[in-house]
Amino acid sequence: MQKLFFILLIINFSVFSQSVTENNNIYVCPPCNSSCDTLEFGKPGICNHCNMKLITKKELKELTTEKKKIAFYLQPGIEILDFAGPMEVFAYANFEVFTVSKTKDPIISQGILKIIPDYSIADSPKADILAFFGGNSSSAFSDTKVIQWIKSQKDIDYHFSVCTGAFALAKAGILHDKTATTFHSALNDLEKNHPDITVIKGARFVDNGKVITTAGISAGIDGALHLVAKLQGFNEARKIAYHMEYDKWIPGEGLIISEDDPYKNFKDTAVLEMYTGTFEYLNGTQVELKINQREKSLYAIVEGMNYPIFYMGDNTFTNIAEHEINFVTDENENIIGFTSSEHPDTLFNKLEK
């Protein structure tokens, strides 16, 4: 009898454990090639190891099957920030980034950093996006084998260049009859040697739709954020800029020739004015909501710290941890406070000016 009771207890416990596992979402960190890739969390939020937003296992499966593959072509003498800045952006955006060079021989960047390419042009896998960067580009992009490899890549969704990486696209004919920019000291050379290209001076990036060129070095970060905004939305690009602490970004600070402008619904800050002001918050603290005019977006300031919040429409925002924020209005459509999915039973009242 005692044995039967013990067996039933084990069965009941197993069923209960399975039910708990099935009925509660397990959250994980998006792949970032760090130790936290193997961790599991019991609730949504931010990974305290890499600061990326946690997602469910179902979302992880969807994400990994849909992620964009981007090939970074690197050459000896390449500028470090030319490729490292965009690489940081695309890693946060969960793109699959791999490096390609003419051979797999080690590359020395600016005489400092040794890089071993993942692939050569002989065995590189197919990419959705091809990216090219400056530094010793006059030699690398005069190589007929390299240019032929660029031309041979089929069904590319986007071409992307930073600095004098634009010369790779020019010599491969990808910029023919298009508008482009490049590093400030190379603008005249691009214009002189490629009269079929309309060269723009003074732009952080130029977006032709499927071809994006940027100015030099740090401008590559702006171009990469712009491409993320096109593919994943402006709010996602804002989150990445916030995580990188890239507070010099001016969204859309470039020439956008294509029709898919990711900022067109965010250029008028008038819609955000009604949400500004000071609100009561937790434990006697206050939260001030202010518009960042440079970014054309709303930030919450709590105890001197700035936190972005993301407009979803219809009095609804989300914060960096994906908590939903809903603003409450009176009969005259004036904001009187807000609720949060993190504290659903609390109305945080707007304070009088």
CA angle 121, 122, 124 (to 5 degrees): 60
Closest alpha carbon to 148 in 165, 173, 130, 125: 173
| Spatial separation of the C-alpha atoms in residues 141 and 166, rounded to whole Å | 10
Quickly name the fold that domain 269-349 has: Lipocalin (2.40.128)
Return the pLDDT at 12.
Answer: 43
Residue 222 CA: distances (Å) to CA of 78, 114, 167, 225:
19, 25, 19, 5
Separation of alpha carbons 323 and 336, rounded Å: 20
3-state secondary structure of 86: helix
Residues 271-302: pLDDT tens digits? 899 999 999 999 889 999 999 999 999 999 99
For residues 66 and 69, give the distance between their C-alpha atoms in angstroms, rounded to a whole number. Answer: 9
Which letter does DSSP use for residue 9 in this model?
Answer: H
- Residue 163: DSSP 8-state: G
pLDDT for res 244:
96
Strands 96-101 and 107-109, by their bridges, are unpaired
Q: What is the pLDDT of residue 114?
A: 97
Cβ-contact 348, 283 below 8 angstroms: no
Bridge pairing between strands 158-161 and 129-132: parallel
pLDDT tens digits, one per residue of 86-129: 999 999 999 999 999 999 999 999 999 999 999 999 999 999 99
Q: Write down the pLDDT at residue 64.
A: 58
Q: What is the mean pLDDT of each run of 10 residues along the chain (353 residues)?
A: 42 40 65 74 78 74 73 97 98 96 96 96 97 90 96 97 97 98 97 97 96 97 97 95 94 92 86 95 93 93 94 92 94 94 94 79
* Matching residue, tokens 């590093």: 183
Structure tokens at 35: 């130790």
Q: If you count DSSP H runs as helices and E runs as strands, how many of each does the chain have, helices first?
A: 9, 23
Q: Residue 187: its pLDDT value, please?
A: 97
Q: Domain ranges in the chain?
A: 23-65, 67-256, 269-349
Determine phi and psi for 128, rounding to 5 degrees. -85, -30
**Residue partners of 167: CB distance under 8 A and separation at least 6:** 137, 138, 141, 182, 186, 190
| CA distance to 51, 283, 291, 312, 317, per residue, from 299 (Å) | 18, 20, 6, 14, 11
Q: Are strands 211-214 and 158-161 parallel, antiparallel or unpaired?
A: parallel
Q: Do residues 127 and 70 make contact, with C-beta atoms less than 8 angstroms apart?
A: yes
Residue 170 corresponds to which tokens in the numbers above? 């020019």
DSSP state of 37: G
Half-sphere exposure (Cβ direction) of 8: Cα atoms closer than 13 Å: 5
Tokens, residue 10: 């084990």
Give the per-residue pLDDT at 33.
Answer: 58
> Where is 346: in which H helix or E strand?
strand 343-349
Q: Say which CATH topology domain 67-256 has.
A: Rossmann fold (3.40.50)
User: What SS3 class is residue 342?
Assistant: coil
* Global confidence as pTM: 0.81
